[in-house]
Amino acid sequence: MSEQHREGPSVAQGVARAKSWNFAPPVGDLVTKELMTQQLAEFLGNSENFTIKKIGESCLRRISVPVDDVTDVIWQKLRDEMLKKLLQAGGIGIAAPQVGVNARCCIVDLPPCVGIGDVNVLRFNGRNLLHEKKMLPRLFMLNPQITEKSTQLRGLPEGCLSVPERRAGDVMRPWQVTVEFFDCDGKKNVVIADGYAGRCCQHEIDHLDGILYVDYLQNL
């Protein structure tokens, strides 16, 4: 984005989620673990020459596969290389499909300039960050799942590193979400967030199901 259970959701769950949206986003072929492993090796072997994938490339429209062993050191390597791409691009979130790897992982990295009043991270692993006036730490989320979402919808502007030179307003999303995920240490984490924090989580998790924010827009 610009300015679970250890085994994660099944591919079938990802397909069902993608197809449940009333805007019917185009969803490409399902990714096999063999293909994902090949993608991962290609990216890590030549990451300096990889650019962020842009709309129209098939990896952005595929259902990504769950990570089997979240503690495998290879995911730390992927995290580090994804973070480099994110910082170079000046974004606040990036998902593995955006670097051509269809694995269910993403980064959310909200900067201090997105203030507490705009972000509203209500709880992180039981801690009330809003009360403590602390920002959400940089998160590398493996097998993230949205387990709860509010019925209240709000429209706010969004952009995407994979959809350059376009920023849209009134992208309607649930205002508050609860997200469960694993980190590289195998620890389960829970985030309850609204505002841009909740929106960024939803935006990046959408990438794992082959969904781009422009799919929510009726005029594109």
Active-site positions read 204
CA gap 72, 90 in Å, rounded: 28
At residue 27's C-alpha, the angle toward residues 24 and 30, to 5°, is 145
On whether the CB atoms of residues 209 and 145 are closer than 8 A, the answer is no
| Separation CA 63–CA 33 (nearest Å) | 11
CA distance 104 to 128: 27
Beta bridge partners of 154: 173
Nearest one of 173, 171, 207, 190 to 121, comparing CA atoms: 190
